[in-house]
Amino acid sequence: MGDSVLSRLKATRTAGLEVENDVLIGRNGTLFIFQGGHKLYEQAQGKHPLTAEARDAFAQNLRSRRALCAERGIGFAHLFPPDKQVTVAEDYPLRDVYSIGAAVREQLDAPFIWGGDMLTRSDFHRTDSHWNIHGQFKMMPPLLHELGLDDLLPEVLGWRDGLAERKFTGDLGVKLSAQPSEIASVLPPNPDTTRYGNGLKPAGNEGTIEVVLNRKPLVRRTLLVFGTSSTQV
Amino acid sequence: MPLLSRIFEVTVHCRARFLHRDVLDMVKPDFCVTQNLERYFWSTRSDLNALPFFLIPHLRDREPAYSQKALEIIGATFSHGSLRHDAMLRMLRRGRFPGAHLRRIQP
């Protein structure tokens, strides 16, 4: 009996859903976080819709961040990527997927980069919860524009020609007993960069620091990012 | 987003839900990007709730484990305008990665 068959037997079938180790196995073998720490499947059903409190806190944060940066002569942009089930909805087992990001975009007339209007199915890994390098390339035009760095765009987009391919099992794939893999495009290693971190143990989210130095950058400037694993450098 | 660290000379990524003003004033970047996720949005709170960034691991029962090199580079990066920071940029601009010389700079 093959691994994938064993995996399917181990998976829990609830109301037509195939779930193993909190990973939802969607159509075409596309993997999604099932509930995670934020009841994602309930969110996708619209059971936790946008609240005025969260929307207004977000709007106020954007205003104060922009003002803080402007006072210091720092260029500012805010990036809001969609969740995978919003972008790869055709592989998700719900007919209508609720998107809190789309609701924020609709209700707020504030400048931020919402990826929900730009990304498509091919911009996410099949076995990972994150966008792939193609999705990241798609975010470059609005991001560089917001930072006033449009002139860098042709060179940055030209890096797509140097992508390599490798076998990859994403953060969701490794949670399944079958360990499904995919072929993913990756940037080749860059010998002109080195990275340093604060080595948090156990590895976690908040408080992690990564610094990357580049001796042959496109611009001799410093970028500071406050974000999640989606913007990890 | 490894594309970002190919574009910029120094890229600092802090895993954080808030913009931490203390970090902004230590790093003094040319550009700042903040990013959130849909699935966390319901818990969005004001940046005024931000704790000093370097306390966060301790408050979450995690321990930083810096290598000696990481300590030097992160120390230089988070002290913009210091002798260490200047030396780090000077080395990069000579096409070299900062090395042991950062240790020789006395505070």
CA atoms of A206 and A183, how far apart (whole Å): 30
pLDDT of residue A15: 66
Describe the strand order of the beta sheet including B31-35 as a list of residue ranges: A113-114, A75-80, B31-35, A219-227, B8-15, A209-214, A193-197
Structure-token match 């890994």, residue found: A125
Query: What pLDDT was estimated at residue A130?
Result: 94
Residues A115-154 have pLDDT tens digits of 999 999 999 999 999 999 999 999 999 999 999 999 999 9
Residue B73: closest C-alpha in chain A: A196
CA dihedral over A163, A168, A173, A174, signed as positive or negative: negative
The alpha carbon of residue B58 is apart from the nearest alpha carbon of chain A, in Å, by: 9
pLDDT-based confidence at B61, cuts 50/70/90?
A: confident
pLDDT at res. B86: 94
pTM above 0.95, yes or no: no
Out of A197, A219, A223, closest to residue B33 by CB: A223
Residues from chain A contacting residue B96 (CB–CB below 8 Å): 215
For position A201, what pLDDT does the model report?
Answer: 74
State how far residue A5 is from chain B, nearest Cα, in angstroms.
31
Instruction: Return the axis-axis angle of helices A100-107 and A52-71, rounded to nearest 10°.
Output: 70
CA-based torsion, A63, A68, A74, A80: positive or negative: negative
Distance from CA of A182 to the nearest CA of B (A): 19
A152 close to A218: Cβ distance less than 8 angstroms: yes
Chain B residues close to A193, C-beta within 8 Å = 5-6
Interface test with B, best of A133, A212, A218 (most B CBs within 10 A): A212
Task: Select from A209, A113, A100, A198 the least CA-distant residue to B34.
Answer: A113
Q: Please report which confidence band the pLDDT of residue B100 belongs to, taking 50, 70 and 90 as the band edges.
A: low
Q: In chain A, which residues have pLDDT < 50?
A: 1-11
CA Rg, chain A, in Å?
Answer: 19
The answer to whether B21 and A224 have CB atoms below 8 angstroms apart is: no
Which pLDDT score, from 0 to 100, does residue A203 have? 64
Chain B residues with CB under 8 Å of A100 CB are 38, 41-42
pLDDT, chain B, mean: 93
For the ranges A50-54, B50-54, B60-64, the lowest mean pLDDT is seen at B60-64
A216–chain B nearest CA distance, Å:
7
Q: How far apart are CA A153 and CA A143, in angstroms?
A: 10
Mean pLDDT of B42-54: 96
Closest in B30, B62, B93 to A75, CB measured: B30
| Structure-token pair, residue B86 | 């200047």
Could you please report the per-residue DSSP string of A104-131?
HHHH--S--EEGGGT--GGGB-SSSSSB
Query: In this predicted structure, what is the pLDDT of residue A170?
Result: 95
Q: Which of B4, B15, B65 sits opposite A228 (nearest CB)?
A: B15
Query: Which one of A139, A206, A231 has the shortest CB-CB distance to B13?
Result: A231
pLDDT of residue A157: 98
Q: Which of B15, B19, B66, B84 to mutate to test the interface with A (most CBs of A within 10 A)?
A: B15
A9: distance to nearest CA of chain B, Å?
A: 29
Pairwise CB contact (< 8 Å): A100 & B42 = yes
In the predicted structure, residue B67 carries a pLDDT above the cut 70: yes
Tokens of A188: 């080749």
pLDDT for A51 equals 96
Q: How big is the A-B interface in CB pairs under 8 Å? A: 301
Q: Verify whether the Cβ–Cβ distance A223 to B56 is below 8 Å.
A: no
Distance CA B52, CA B37 (A): 22
Nearest neighbour of A206 by CB, restricted to B32, B60, B88: B60
**Interface contact B6-A69, CB threshold 8 A:** no
Give A194-199 contacts, CB < 8 A, sequence gap 24+.
A194/B97, A195/A233, A195/B5, A196/B67, A196/B69, A196/B70, A196/B73, A196/B74, A197/B70, A198/B57, A198/B64, A198/B65, A198/B66, A198/B70, A198/B74, A199/B64, A199/B65, A199/B66, A199/B67, A199/B70
Domain coordinates in residue numbering, chain B: 1-52, 66-107
Name residue, tokens 């203390």: B22
Q: In whole angstroms, what is the distance from residue A75 CA to residue A117 CA?
A: 24
Contact A233 B23 (CB under 8 A): no
Backbone dihedral region for residue A153 (phi beyond 0: left; psi -120 to 50: alpha; all else: beta):
alpha
Least Cα distance to A19 among A34, A37, A40 occurs for A34
- Please tell me the predicted confidence (pLDDT) of residue A182: 96
